[in-house]
Copies of this chain bind each other. A is one copy, B any other.
Amino acid sequence: MARTTGSDGTRTKTAIRAAATRLFARYGYEALSMRRLAEEIDLGAAALYRYFPTKQAILFDLLKTHMDQLLAAWDAKRPPDRIPARERLNAFAEFHIRHHWDRNDSLFLSYMELRSLTPDNFAQIEDLRRAYENEVVTIISDGIEEGSLRPQNARVTARAVIALMNGLPAWYREDGPISPPEIEKLYQQMVSGAAGPVIPKEIPCSTPA
């Protein structure tokens, strides 16, 4: 019963996912027709329905997969709680930028096409987004507790920080003048700054250079 062939249909499904990610991001979910999507991978429109039951299911699959991968990846790289909050926040910024570096379109979709989701599907994705947001809230809250960060509202700051970073794919072009490591550092500093000024534990008497 189980097919042992290499082409078990997963390849095609992956191709659909890739094309859909690119084209949804470029033209938008509503503006892209199933025929145009199928054409992109040299298939008839009807063939798509062997892999996904509806157009909506494709979008949901993309967003769900993206969020699952995002949360799993963060779970694997998350710094331990004992690390100072500011360092954890830096680690988060680095992770977020790096993880999305070759996932520009997915990131773009994951907040641009939320309103194209069915209420049920939207609720599911929103839960995952909330979970991700909570990771930042926790870091910032810990920072407030330990006195190293001083934003006035952890959740608002978390959202602002994420919005700040999510703005990147809207303008960044690979052939631009700024290299990935530079972007990484830039955004790290801005995120850190947005979360509040560095607060020294002791007030040192600095000797001028």
Contact = CB atoms under 8 A, between A and B. Distances in A.
Contact of A203 (B111, B151, B198, B206): B206
Instruction: Give 6 nearest A-B pairs by CB, closest first.
Output: A163-B167, A30-B30, A193-B193, A164-B164, A190-B194, A194-B194
Interface string A81-98: 000000000000000000
A70 B123 CA distance: 34
Contacts of A156: 178, 183, 186
13 contacts: A30-B31, A112-B112, A152-B182, A153-B182, A160-B190, A163-B167, A163-B168, A189-B196, A191-B194, A193-B193, A197-B198, A203-B206, A203-B208
A151 B190 contact: yes
Interface residues of A, number: 46
Contact of A116 (B28, B116, B166, B183): B28
Copy number of this protein in the oligomer? 2
Interface of A: 26-28, 30-31, 111-112, 115-116, 151-153, 156-157, 159-164, 166-168, 170-171, 178, 182-183, 185-187, 189-191, 193-198, 203-206, 208-209
Give the interface SS of chain A, mostly helix, strand, loop or mixed. Answer: helix
Given A167-B163, A193-B196, A205-B205, A186 B116 contact: no
